[in-house]
Chain A
Amino acid sequence: MSRASGLIKKADALLKRFAPPERTLYKRVVSMTGNELIGRTTATYADTLMKPQPYFHRIGRQHIPGGHAHAEDVVTASGRNLLADDYEFLISPNALSLADIQNPAVEIVAKDASGNVEVFRILDPDPIQMSGTDILYIVFARSVKR
């Protein structure tokens, strides 16, 4: 086993210990059928459980220059107050590969036990590497659908 592979294994074990348990994260691949140009389409989703579960947290106002520059507060259609913001995920390459990150049809989805679903669009992946091998991805993603 190379040192990079060993590090990935250690990072995966740490993620398993610290991943937040209240919401489960999935890799979602979106497929569209119909006329995508004019939006007469049907979306189908294929959700795959991410293993190990990533660690994630909301970035929050302290880390956005100028305060809440691009976070919006909104009341959802179902009447819930919601602060949409950017999130930071710590993801193993075993859970989300570089090809997944580069695929515009791939999203990150968080689901809770009550059936609530939040969809995140991947904005900025930042790999932590060793000898050219990706050990972990720091992925910044934006909440786009609740």
Chain B
Amino acid sequence: LRAVRDSFLQFLADNSVTYPVRNLRKDPDNPKLSQIQEGAVNVQFIVDDPSVQVSDVTVNIDVVSTAELTAIDMMRAMWNLLSASAMTPLFDYTVPASPIRQQGNVFWNPEKVRFRPVASDLYFRYSCTLTLSYHIQ
């Protein structure tokens, strides 16, 4: 499961040249990681559904900007990326500098990439909830 998360995050980060990608998560060593960041693509894994056949993990992808028009550009860039492909190879990133290819891939449905605006007084935010599928080896 860790490899699924890492592979998807690296896929987004490697292909999102303009906007930084962050993983929102609880980490007592680094509490700022649970905070949403403006001008960034905020990725949070929210549901795990393991199975002996095809496992799913649901992820929230939030593009956040102070300005609505910038958020539209960010949302479009993310949509371009996620709708242009439907999978990314699975890697073990235990040593990030030399990831090891694993059997299988991480899949998603490019037809299900939809962003909806979420109201906030502080920033403009588009949110996409996407299900990733993989097979546990």
Residues of chain A touching chain B, judged by Cβ–Cβ distance below 8 Å, are 30, 32, 34-41, 43, 104-105, 107, 119, 121, 144-145
Contact = CB atoms under 8 A, between A and B. Distances in A.
Interface string B41-53: 0000000000000
Contacts, number: 45
Closest A-B pairs by Cβ, 5 of them: A104-B32, A145-B28, A43-B29, A35-B96, A121-B31
A40 B30 CA distance: 12
Interface in B14-33: 21-23, 25, 27-33
A23 to B, nearest CB: 18
27 contacts: A30-B29, A30-B30, A34-B96, A35-B93, A35-B96, A37-B9, A37-B13, A37-B21, A38-B5, A38-B9, A38-B93, A39-B27, A40-B93, A40-B95, A41-B29, A41-B30, A43-B29, A43-B30, A104-B35, A105-B32, A107-B31, A119-B28, A119-B31, A121-B31, A144-B28, A145-B28, A145-B29
A104 B32 CA distance: 5
Interface of B: 5-6, 9-10, 13, 21-23, 25, 27-33, 35, 93-96
Q: Determine chain A's interface SS by DSSP, over half rule.
A: strand
A37 B96 CA distance: 10
A43 B96 CA distance: 16
Contact of B96 (A30, A38, A121, A144): A38
A2 to B, nearest CB: 33
A107 B41 CA distance: 24
A37 B22 contact: yes
A37 B30 contact: no
Which of A34, A35, A119, A121 has the most chain B CB atoms closer than 10 A to its own CB?
A: A35
Contacts of B94: 40
